[in-house]
Structure 1
């Protein structure tokens, strides 16, 4: 699978376009996600991420400058999700595909990249070991699991884990 991380240049600081998945889906209903999905046969991660963003939120691929491809993120269920980072010079017109997406919104880059907003959460399922995952809450939105894990991995790749990384992240998004 592949997801697009659309980073948008805004006068008040960069934002990241995200979605809330439709409540009518069979799985992962209502979860916060990046636009994305499975690769079609013969498709690259970049092609799939751009196609899925167009299908889910009507994001015109011509508006996206692909900056790079992140390391594949392995989910708890064994899927490999490749993040594709894209740059947009302004907030695009979007339209949620109601069968897949309930809401399209932007989260501030500075918020997502600030490790003070990242925490470890867990849940228990009967008969299974406790599952731990990354999470962050922006406004009323609970960003967790794969989406939060991809955010953490992107932050580590861009800024590292050194103490100076916090300063670099704060300066970068402006």
Structure 2
């Protein structure tokens, strides 16, 4: 699928009903934390916006993932989309995702065209409701990691997500007495799991619908 076709397809699919939970469960760690799918969220939950940003290269369509540095927190060292917590000055969650991506990887938000959103996903361990915002740029952006928040940027080729060989599974020991049988994407030597993998699962499902 070429870049123009990808953007056209996303523009259409993001306006239609999304698979949400059905797609999320395919890459959800086991046992499933059912709090993710409760219809009523905790009153004190926090909002977060992440950016799934597509850009063209001579090798195909790409998007950036980031690896978090090691820090005292539940998402230490994990691979994620650029993004973060909604701040009072943000007009909406789209502005949150753009601001955070600009701060973390140096994108120019004025050059990003927003296509829509994937399904929100609640992360019980950090009490965040994550809203994945989907956009694109016409040219490959100059990506610069913010050293305090990003240990590396992973330029990810969309096509590789459809290769069955990158989908793997292993038992992760997150802390003593907490073992999760975890599906993940093996991308550039990194284990992409949890909420990030679940969001990518929904992306894959809506793009695969073209072939049904």
- 1:26 correspondence with 2:68: no
Following superposition, the deviation at residue 43 of structure 1 comes to 3.4
Quick check: 113-122 or 35-44, which moved more? Answer: 113-122
Give yes or no for contact 1:113–1:151 (8 Å, CA) kept in 2: no
Does 1:75 find its partner at 2:139?
no
CA distance in 2, matches of 1:134, 1:75: 17
Would the aligned equivalents of 1:6 and 1:88 in 2 still touch at CA under 8 Å? yes
Q: Does 1:104 align with 2:104?
A: no
How many Å separate the matches in 2 of 1:133 and 1:74?
17
| Unmatched runs of 5 consecutive residues or more in structure 1 | 166-174
Q: CA deviation at 1:127?
A: 4.3
Partner SS state of residue 90, structure 1: coil
Taking only aligned residues, the RMSD between alpha carbons, in angstroms, comes to 2.2
The count of residues paired between Structure 1 and Structure 2 equals 161
Structure 2 contact 64–154 (Cα < 8 Å) conserved? yes
Question: Unpaired runs of 5+ in structure 2?
Answer: 1-47
Instruction: Give the alignment's TM-score, normalised by structure 2.
Output: 0.68
Q: Distance in 2 between matches of 1:76 and 1:64?
A: 30
Task: Confirm or deny: 8 A CA contact 2:68 2:80 kept in the other structure.
Answer: yes
Residue number in structure 1 paired with 2:58:
11
Residue 139 of structure 2 aligns with which residue?
Answer: 90
Contact 1:133 1:144 in 2 (8 A): yes
- The whole-number CA distance in structure 2 between the counterparts of 1:12 and 1:34 is 21
Distance 1:37 1:30 in 2: 15
Separation of aligned partners in 1, 2:62 and 2:140: 9
Question: Does residue 151 in structure 1 map to residue 200 in structure 2?
Answer: yes
By relative contact order (CA 8 Å, sep 6+), the higher-ranking structure is: 2
- Aligned residue for 1:138? 187
Distance 1:115 1:87 in 2: 26
1:86 is displaced (CA, Å) by: 1.1
- Residues of 2 paired with 1:119 and 1:61: CA distance? 34
Moved more, 108-117 or 148-157: 108-117
TM-score normalised over the length of structure 1: 0.81
- Deviation at residue 158 of structure 1 after TM alignment: 3.0
Cα distance, 1:52 vs structure 2? 0.2
Confirm or deny: 8 A CA contact 1:32 1:142 kept in the other structure. Answer: yes
